[in-house]
Structure 1
């Protein structure tokens, strides 16, 4: 069985600014601090943030049924602001999923605002279709909101420093 889910989050920020957080490894460095109830830690297994990079994500207790997952960046399009990663170990692969892909697209609406579109595409064994209830965009939606707030807080702090200088 194949399926997909999608979530859109309006940022109120320019697409290029949002992409700076998602494009490489920076996001993995701040995620555990921004979302400690979901992510315990994110560790670099291999790579430099480009295609082929593998991250080991450890989930916080309570993110049932998941303990960890390794995900590999398979597409990074700096021109169109698209990043794709697939789970290569752990996560929902342990529950009969053959494929679990996460796509983040930063879509510029105007010069001043953009949308973070989070998409999940999956394939699950026919005998395990009941496990599709585990598929959710909620973690990616929380991430989009947290990253947006983080960027806005950083911008406010920078502006305050500039004003006092």
Structure 2
């Protein structure tokens, strides 16, 4: 098994604390409301929402995938870090055993944030993931991020 690592970074004028609260702490409720074309709903299968929790994310009808299950590996509310691993679902296949994600929301001097993401694809054998596949995933994630950012700009009192 090999591990393919990809990194991405986004900047925002929204504070790290607000982004973290909205995207990580309340994302299961907020994202289906602002992006129903992407995510139908999320259910907790095990746990209380903290480390060790297993969630099942149901994607919208017509989406490329039907669902994924992920397990929360780390959640640090004080330092705005979050990591989880996709452990099951049709986004995984015989070539990918699991996908691990780590996100860090870093406050900037101007009151905004930098969001650093690391994705690790744990692949079976000598499988290659193409740059096009990675780009597609990054574009979907960036689109979701922009929707969330727009929502927070339009609702300045939310998640303070």
State whether TM-score is above 0.5: yes
What secondary structure does 1:155 align onto? coil
1:50 and 2:60 matched: no
1:152 and 2:153 matched: yes
- How far 1:51 sits from its partner (Å)? 0.6
- How far 1:106 sits from its partner (Å)? 0.6
- How far 1:93 sits from its partner (Å)? 2.5
1:157–1:87 CA distance, 2 compared to 1 (3 A): closer
Conserved? CA contact 2:104–2:115, under 8 Å:
yes
Q: Deviations for 1:131-163, whole angstroms, at most 9, x for unmatched residues?
A: 7854422332222212212222221689xxxxx
| CA radius of gyration, larger in | 1
Higher mean C-alpha deviation, range 69-78 or range 119-128: 119-128
Q: Please give the alpha-carbon distance, in whole angstroms, between the structure 2 residues aligned to 1:88 and 1:21.
A: 24
- State the number of aligned residues: 156
Q: Please give the alpha-carbon distance, in whole angstroms, between the structure 2 residues aligned to 1:60 and 1:127.
A: 32
Residue correspondence of structure 1 range 92-131 to structure 2 within 5 A: 92-126=91-125, 128-129=127-128
Structure 1, unaligned runs of 5 or more: 159-165
1:13 and 2:38 matched: no
1:130–1:18 CA distance, 2 compared to 1 (3 A): closer
Q: Normalization by structure 1: what TM-score?
A: 0.80
Partner residue in 1 for 2:79: 80
Q: Please give the alpha-carbon distance, in whole angstroms, between the structure 1 residues aligned to 2:30 and 2:51.
A: 20
Conserved? CA contact 2:58–2:66, under 8 Å:
yes
1:134–1:98 CA distance, 2 compared to 1 (3 A): same
Conserved? CA contact 1:7–1:141, under 8 Å:
no
1:139 and 2:124 matched: no
Q: Deviations for 1:25-68, whole angstroms, at most 9, x for unmatched residues?
A: x111111122222212212222222111111111224432x221
1:99–1:131 CA distance, 2 compared to 1 (3 A): farther
* RMSD of aligned alpha carbons: 2.5
Higher mean C-alpha deviation, range 144-153 or range 127-136: 127-136
1:143–1:119 CA distance, 2 compared to 1 (3 A): farther
